Structures are given as structure tokens and as C-alpha cells.
């Protein structure tokens, strides 16, 4: 018997639940089959929050491991989605395998995908098979002449189309795909990227065409001007301009007004992205080093007195080992760190000493020890504050940003070799 899917618990499609139900995006589709003149997909740009950006690429199997960890730490997640960082169906095998594995492991979670629509028609049957409930299609225009200005090319199999021909092909596939989705009973949202001077005058035409096809909701998104792209010099639409366009379009089709322009690896509630808290674990998953938390129940802490995280790793002659019990967090034991002055061997030995720890809390750390500890599956958190605050970040998924240590930027940052010849 199939479990019931609570389709109204998708925060992008239902604004009423955005404060209590969250989503996780699984970046399993790196390739793309069209070239949008506003797009620049930087896979490893951790400081940008926009579509097409992710820190890592996961395989279908890795995405299951990653999702399990996310759900352990964030019970508000009700949706698992695939939004690139390329196009979902430019990698149809990876996408469908991911959806199948996720549905098998998590029968009650909502599944959604986002696509430009070029390969959508041939993918609808697979989406239905895996009980995907929500699909977003980016439809920027229903006029091929306008489309020729927006898209550099479209690749269908081994054939590359350009200009109006590319725009016509894309539009025909979008229409065919949406019709199939609605016939299957899947909820459809259309994203329309508003590009000043290109398609901003055309938004209501798109809305009218989509409404006639039975699309459930439209999302007017401000174009993000990426430097170096053909549209890089076009000014981003103002909030007031978008609001005005929505007022006109909502007379035709319901409008999404709470879009967060999510990254391809976004995690958490809309407007409260927690992807940074899971970045290290995603990296471990993507490199095959996903941690077995049953064999790593502890956290190592660099502390002077046992209350605060207030020692640089290189200065710590010992580390306190903390664990989580039914009574709360407890100091289990104290372990000596290797002697200073042994170069990289110090960090090799330290990784072995704390191999049963999933994370280390320090006030500062050099680049070399950080890299080596992370390569050995340890989450490194450079922070200031009470030990308990750091433990909550590790065990319960509290926000790490608020704990960041000034010392990581100051005295021993980029200039520190971390060669274990002094400070560490």
C-alpha cells in the first residue's frame, strides 16, 4: 500500500506552510542542454545564493546518504527536490535513479523537480512512476522571437539549434511537457525570469498561455545579472517593478510571492537557508567519505577550562572529548595531542587520536590542519562561545554562522602554513 503524500506541504507552492515545512535540494544534475543569456553556473561558489550554484555534485547513491543526514538533523524537511545545478533532464538517468532511490527509502517525502522543459515530455512517465508531485518549468516567453534573444542555443541529443529555431523547439517541448504533467495530475509551477527590456512587457502573455494550459501557479523572478554573461550589464528589476507585474499577472493566474531564489543545494525553510551547516557533510558524501555517525559519536574541543571554545588547535596540548547522552552533553575524557614541531605528521597522528569524533571545535586553525582533518571525515568548526553552543550545532543542526570565530580571520588565517612548527 502506498503512503499518502501531503502535497500541500510544499513551501514553494503553498505560502501558508513556508514557516513550518522546508525543502532540501539534491544537486545530482550537473549538465545543461540550453544556454540562457543570464546564466553562469558556478558550482563551487559558496558565497552566492541563487539558482545554478552548489558546493558539490552528488551521485544518486550519495544523495540518499546525504538526505538521511539532513532529515536526522532537520525534522521540518518535507520536500526533496532536484534543481540542477544544470537541468534536471539533461541528466535524465541520474535524475530518475535518484528519484527512485529516494522514493524507496523515504516513501512519504514529497518529490519535486525543476526544469527548462526541453527534455520534459519524455520524462513525464518516469516522474509519475516515482510519484513526483510537483514540477517547476522555467518559461520565459511564448514568443520565439523573444526567445531568440534569451537563449544562445538549445541542444537536442547531438543537434544544436540556435536563434528562433532553438526558441521554437524549446517552447514546443515546454507546452507538450506541461500538457502531459497536467494530464497526469502533477502540480505545475512556471518560473518566468523577468529581464528588463527583453520580456518584461510580455509577462502577462506568458501568464495567459500558462493559465489556459491549467498551470497552477506562476513565479515571476528577478533576473540576477551575472558578470560576463550576455545579460550581465542589464540592471536587475526592482522589487517595485516585480510587484507591479505580479498585480497584472495575478488577475490571470495565481502568483508565488515568496520565492527565495534558492541554490541548487539549498536546505531548510524558505528564507532561512541552512546549506552551510550541511556543506561539510555534502562534501564528504560527494567524495565518498560520508561519515558513519554510529562509529563517530564524539566531538573534540579545544578549551582552556572546559566551558568555552577558546584555544587555537595548534596551541592545544590536549582536547576534551564530548558526547551526547539522554541527560545532555557530557565531557567523556581528555586526550593529549601530538607533540608540536613534527610537521604534517602531527595532523596525521591527531586524526588517528580523534578518529571516533565527528567534529572538532576550535577558536582557530591553520589551512593545512583544516584540510587534513576534513579529508579524514572531521567537520571543523572555528568558533567562539560556549562549548554547548558548538555541540548543538553538530548534534542538532543549530546555525553555525553565529558561532564564527574572529580568530579564524585574524592572527592565524591565510598566512598560517599550519605546518605544526609553532602555533599549528
Mean pLDDT of the chain: 86
Measured in whole angstroms, the distance separating CA 125 from the mean position of its chain's CA atoms is 26
In whole angstroms, what is the distance from residue 390 CA to residue 387 CA?
5
**CA count, 13 A, side-chain hemisphere, 287:** 13
Looking at residue 421, its pLDDT comes to 37
Instruction: Find the angle CA(62)-CA(68)-CA(73) to the nearest 5 degrees.
Output: 130
Residue 236 within a domain: yes
* pLDDT tens digit sequence for 31-69: 899 999 988 755 444 334 456 677 788 888 889 888 988
Span 156-164, average pLDDT: 94
Question: What's the domain range around 118?
Answer: 7-277
In whole angstroms, what is the distance from residue 152 CA to residue 145 CA?
13
Above 90 in pLDDT, residue 111? yes
In whole angstroms, what is the distance from residue 70 CA to residue 80 CA?
10
* pLDDT tens digit sequence for 291-314: 556 678 999 999 999 999 999 999
312/261 same-domain check: no
**CA count, 13 A, side-chain hemisphere, 385:** 16
Residue 242 within a domain: yes
In whole angstroms, what is the distance from residue 28 CA to residue 286 CA?
10
* pLDDT tens digit sequence for 311-361: 999 999 999 999 998 889 999 999 999 998 888 889 988 988 998 998 999
257/376 same-domain check: no
Query: pLDDT tier at 79 (50, 70, 90 boundaries)?
Result: very high
In whole angstroms, what is the distance from residue 106 CA to residue 163 CA?
43
In whole angstroms, what is the distance from residue 291 CA to residue 302 CA?
21
pTM of the predicted model as reported, rounded to 2 decimal places: 0.68
Looking at residue 47, its pLDDT comes to 39
Closest CA to 96 of 66, 78, 120, 70: 120
100/71 same-domain check: yes
Q: Is the peptide bond before 85 cis (omega within 30 degrees of 0)?
A: yes
- Choosing from 229, 250, 277, the residue where a domain stops is 277
- Count CB atoms within 10 A of the CB of residue 360: 29
Looking at residue 52, its pLDDT comes to 65
Give the count of domains, the chain.
Answer: 2
Residue 282 within a domain: no
- Choosing from 277, 310, 338, the residue where a domain stops is 277
Helices (H) and strands (E) in the chain, counts: 12, 18
Q: Cα dist. 32→54, 83, 116, 265 in Å? A: 14, 11, 9, 16
Q: Cα dist. 88→131, 242, 368 in Å? A: 16, 27, 36
CATH number at residue 109: 3.20.20.70
In terms of Cβ atoms closer than 10 Å to its own Cβ (0-12, 13-18, 19+), residue 244 is middle
In whole angstroms, what is the distance from residue 102 CA to residue 66 CA?
11
Amino acid at each position: 500500500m502506498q503512503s499518502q503524500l501531503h502535497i500541500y506541504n510544499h513551501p514553494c507552492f503553498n505560502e501558508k506552510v513556508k514557516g513550518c515545512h522546508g525543502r532540501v535540494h539534491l544537486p545530482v544534475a550537473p549538465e545543461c542542454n540550453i544556454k540562457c543569456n543570464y546564466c553562469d553556473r558556478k558550482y563551487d561558489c559558496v558565497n552566492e545564493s541563487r539558482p545554478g550554484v552548489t558546493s558539490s555534485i552528488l551521485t544518486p547513491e550519495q544523495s540518499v546518504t546525504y538526505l538521511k543526514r539532513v532529515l536526522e538533523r532537520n525534522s521540518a524537511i518535507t520536500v526533496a527536490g532536484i534543481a540542477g545545478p544544470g537541468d534536471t533532464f539533461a541528466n535524465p538517468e541520474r535524475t530518475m535513479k535518484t528519484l527512485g532511490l529516494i522514493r524507496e527509502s523515504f516513501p512519504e517525502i514529497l518529490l519535486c523537480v525543476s526544469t527548462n522543459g526541453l527534455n520534459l515530455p519524455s520524462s513525464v512517465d518516469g516522474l509519475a512512476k516515482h510519484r513526483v508531485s510537483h514540477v517547476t518549468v522555467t518559461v520565459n516567453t511564448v514568443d520565439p522571437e523573444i526567445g531568440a534573444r534569451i537563449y544562445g542555443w538549445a541542444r537536442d541529443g547531438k543537434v544544436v539549434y540556435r536563434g528562433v529555431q532553438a526558441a521554437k523547439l524549446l517552447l514546443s517541448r515546454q507546452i507538450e511537457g506541461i500538457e502531459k504533467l497536467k494530464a497526469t495530475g502533477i502540480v505545475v509551477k512556471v518560473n518566468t525570469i523577468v529581464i528588463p527590456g527583453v520580456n518584461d512587457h510580455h509577462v502577462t502573455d506568458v501568464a495567459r498561455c500558462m493559465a489556459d494550459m491549467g498551470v497552477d501557479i506562476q513565479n515571476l523572478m528577478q533576473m540576477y545579472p551575472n558578470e560576463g554573461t550576455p545579460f550581465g550589464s542589464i540592471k536587475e528589476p526592482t522589487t517595485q517593478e516585480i510587484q507591479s507585474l505580479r498585480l497584472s499577472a495575478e488577475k490571470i493566474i495565481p502568483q508565488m510571492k515568496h520565492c527565495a531564489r534558492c541554490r541548487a543545494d539549498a536546505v531548510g525553510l524558505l528564507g532561512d537557508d541552512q546549506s552551510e551547516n550541511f556543506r561539510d557533510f555534502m562534501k564528504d558524501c560527494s567524495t565518498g567519505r560520508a561519515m558513519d555517525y554510529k562509529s563517530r559519536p564524539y566531538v573534540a574541543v579545544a578549551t582552556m577550562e572546559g566551558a568555552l571554545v577558546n584555544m587555537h588547535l595548534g596551541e592545544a596540548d590536549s582536547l576534551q572529548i564530548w558526547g551526547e547522552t539522554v541527560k545532555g552533553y557530557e565531557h567523556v575524557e581528555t586526550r593529549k595531542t601530538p607533540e608540536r614541531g613534527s610537521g604534517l605528521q602531527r595532523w596525521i597522528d591527531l586524526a588517528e587520536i580523534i578518529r571516533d569524533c565527528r567534529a572538532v571545535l576550535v577558536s582557530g586553525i591553520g589551512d593545512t590542519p583544516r584540510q587534513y582533518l576534513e579529508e579524514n571525515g572531521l567537520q571543523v568548526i572555528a568558533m567562539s562561545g560556549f562549548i554547548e553552543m558548538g555541540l548543538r550545532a553538530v548534534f542538532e543542526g543549530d546555525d553555525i554562522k553565529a558561532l564564527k570565530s574572529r580568530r579564524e580571520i585574524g592572527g592565524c588565517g591565510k598566512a598560517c602554513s599550519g605546518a605544526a612548527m609553532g602555533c599549528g
